[in-house]
Amino acid sequence: SGDQQWWKSAVVYQVYPRSFADASGDGVGDLRGIAARLDHLERLGVDVLWLSPVYASPQADNGYDISDYQAIDPLFGTLADFDELLAEAHGRGIKVLMDLVVNHTSDEHPWFVESRSSTDNPKRDWYWWRPPRAGYQAGDPGAEPTNWESFFSGSTWELDRATGEYYLHLFDRKQPDLNWENPQVRQAVYAMMRWWLDRGVDGFRMDVINLLSKDPALPDGPPTRGGFGDGSPHYATRPRVHEHLQEMHREVFAGRDGQFLTVGEMPGVTWEQARLFTDPARGELDMVFQFEHVGLDHGVGGKFDPVPLDLRDLKASLGRWQTELGTVGWNSLYWNNHDQPRVVSRFGDDQRWWRESATALATVLHLHRGTPYVYQGEELGMTNAPFAGIEDVRDVEALNYWASATALGHSPRDVLRGLRAMGRDNARTPMQWDGSPQAGFTTGEPWIAVNPNHTWLNAASQYDDPESVFEHYRRLIELRHRLPVVAHGDFRMLHPEHAHAYVYERRYEGHRLLVAANLGPEPVRLSLEPGWSDEHVLLANVTGVQLGGEATLGPWAAVVALRE
Ligand code: ISL
């Protein structure tokens, strides 16, 4: 059903509303700001706009803590602003995906306010409440019902003094986990989803959707650092998640007219599991975000203790996902989102080879089999930010980590080094529209500092420059739209053992697409199958690339070639 799988030739653009464009001048991006910048998306040629959360929220985790799923936070505007953005996007042929955050709500959501009010409240069972561990008094060290460590540092359990019980929060204490065992919870979520689809949205990006189902026995996990345990065997990708997603598909999407897209964000998911989630015959999801390739540079101390990437590991990982989701299921392709450091700073070179490495990495990613996601500013080659100290940091994950790591005796200098390299705020500095003092993002005081490099790194200076990062992304997107081999071809990794070159071939109905990139600063020469020559080159990020029996690739050179 080719038409039903329209997203195979589509590219998605992610907007983080807080940091995209501020129309009101309060220093925080908003919906009217996004609407005013749709020209940028149209020029780039993307098919879908994924909006990070704009719902009513206390903003403890920048909107991933929702207090009303059917209201827009005043920070971002009104429902009327939303409807207008939707209409304007649709008018340009751009679909809109909402972020669906239903593993947890805000602790200020009325459901949780009711739930916490007494042990016999009808909504008590909508969340995970447990008494202190047997033999302990509430509040004692070790009294938490399990040893699980939160994604955002500390225990996953918070004591509520009113009833003397603890509630579960895999993320911040202001993000209590919903109990998906309860059918009323599930029906409330499906009704809310239908309400958004009725309003005209085109699908959902589903936040940590593989964490919905917990083992109700809530067993301890294997010990980790700092006296905690790893609870993930008891909450990640449990069998009932598949049941929940199938039920959601039936209750929300089945029989509805239109072309939708569902993508599930899934920390820790394996390709075996992803194949089940995305097998169309099972009726669960269209695609998933997996995390294997963005974990390859995490060190023994976790994400804030990074180690250099070995390109062979990256190729082995992405290559395996290509092969294993080749005939059943579908991949999402991404380097960046609002949780990851900027790829040009992370896997590229944001100094000497900034333009070349940004475009080489883009080339390698976009021509894989799967649906590419571009995170705002990535198409300009935006870089990590030079945070001077902890006072420049805004993210709850980073601030919680800072507090707990420094309390454990880690030196502030080391903690900051980790945050600078890997912190999520790197992705959250304002979009760089032009070289003016606040980068054209706001007329006010931005909620987080603009990166000083906006004076030369900005959209205005890249439009119509044939050598710009933006133009390169635009061409890659155009290739996906134009060439069936990009959307539908198979995948074969070449030179898998090469430490600096990333080379692969795609084939479809007699067409062969070759992608060859040098992801390093030293020149590379590679042997190729006979038959390739310079006349097959479709796109290159530098001049002077030679294709023959050998490919000669200068620093960070990337080339795309096509033949029959
Ligand atoms: O960046 C991470 C912390 O190391 C990830 O573990 C991240 O928290 C995880 O991918 C889940 O992310 C999603 O859910 C979080 C939210 O903070 C993220 O912004 C969101 O993308 C909780 O809703």
pLDDT at 4: 74
Nearest CA to ligand 1 atom 5: 339
How many folded domains does the chain comprise?
A: 4
Contacts with 121 (C-beta within 8 Å, 6 or more apart), sequence order? 114, 115
Q: Are 207 and 312 found together in one domain?
A: yes
Q: What is the CATH number of the domain that holds 114?
A: 3.90.400.10
Structure tokens at 138: 């509430």
Containing structural domain, residue 290: 183-330
Query: Residue 413 domain-assigned?
Result: no
Query: Residue 164 domain-assigned?
Result: yes
Q: Are 274 and 352 found together in one domain?
A: no
What are the C-alpha distances in Å from 341 to residues 52, 248, 418, 423, 468? 17, 32, 11, 6, 21
Q: What is the CATH number of the domain that holds 507?
A: 2.60.40.1180
Q: Please indicate whether residue 207 is annotated as part of the active site.
A: yes
Q: What is the CATH number of the domain that holds 41?
A: 3.20.20.80
Query: Residue 174 domain-assigned?
Result: no
Q: Are 276 and 347 found together in one domain?
A: no
Ligand 1 center to 425 CA (angstroms): 12
Q: Are 266 and 164 found together in one domain?
A: no
Q: Are 242 and 286 found together in one domain?
A: yes
Half-sphere exposure of 511 (CA within 13 A, CB side): 15
Rounded CA-CA distance 57/481 in Å is 37
Nearest CA to ligand 1 atom 10: 267
Q: Are 18 and 124 found together in one domain?
A: no
Query: Residue 515 domain-assigned?
Result: yes
pLDDT at 1: 35
Query: Residue 529 domain-assigned?
Result: yes
Q: Are 298 and 433 found together in one domain?
A: no
Contacts with 558 (C-beta within 8 Å, 6 or more apart), sequence order? 359, 360, 363, 364, 515, 516, 517, 518, 540, 541, 542
Contacts with 30 (C-beta within 8 Å, 6 or more apart), sequence order? 17, 21, 22, 23, 24, 75, 76, 77, 81
pLDDT at 3: 57
Q: Are 294 and 354 found together in one domain?
A: no
Q: Are 476 and 442 found together in one domain?
A: yes
Query: Residue 418 domain-assigned?
Result: no
Rg (CA), the chain: 24
Rounded CA-CA distance 393/401 in Å is 12
pLDDT at 519: 98
Return the ligand 1 atom nearest residue 172 CA.
22
Q: Note the pTM of the prediction, 2 decimals.
A: 0.98
Name beta bridge partners: 506. Answer: 513
Rounded CA-CA distance 264/250 in Å is 16
Query: Tokens 């940028």 belong to which residue?
Result: 40
- End-to-end alpha-carbon separation of the chain, Å? 26
Give ligand 1 pocket residues (Cβ under 6 A).
61, 64, 101, 151, 171, 207-208, 265, 267, 303, 338-339, 397, 424
Query: Residue 435 domain-assigned?
Result: yes
Half-sphere exposure of 213 (CA within 13 A, CB side): 11
Q: Are 81 and 121 found together in one domain?
A: no
Query: Residue 2 domain-assigned?
Result: no
Q: Are 339 and 305 found together in one domain?
A: no
Q: Are 258 and 352 found together in one domain?
A: no
- For 455-486, what is the HEC assignment? HCCCHHHHCCCCCCHHHHHHHHHHHHHHCHHH
Strands 371-375 and 12-15: parallel
Q: Give, for all 564 residues of the chain, the pLDDT tens digit.
A: 345 799 999 999 999 999 999 999 999 999 999 999 999 999 999 999 999 999 999 999 999 999 999 999 999 999 999 999 999 999 999 999 999 999 999 999 999 999 999 999 999 999 999 999 999 999 999 999 999 999 999 999 999 999 999 999 999 999 999 999 999 999 999 999 999 999 999 999 999 999 999 999 999 999 998 889 999 999 999 999 999 999 999 999 999 999 999 999 999 999 999 999 999 999 999 999 999 999 999 999 999 999 999 999 999 999 999 999 999 999 999 999 999 999 999 999 999 999 999 999 999 999 999 999 999 999 999 999 999 999 999 999 999 999 999 999 999 999 999 999 999 999 999 999 999 999 999 999 999 999 999 999 999 999 989 999 999 999 999 999 999 999 999 999 999 999 999 999 999 999 999 999 999 999 999 999 999 999 999 999 999 888 988 999 999 999 999 999
Rounded CA-CA distance 16/371 in Å is 19
Provide ipTM, 2 decimals.
0.96
Rounded CA-CA distance 516/367 in Å is 11
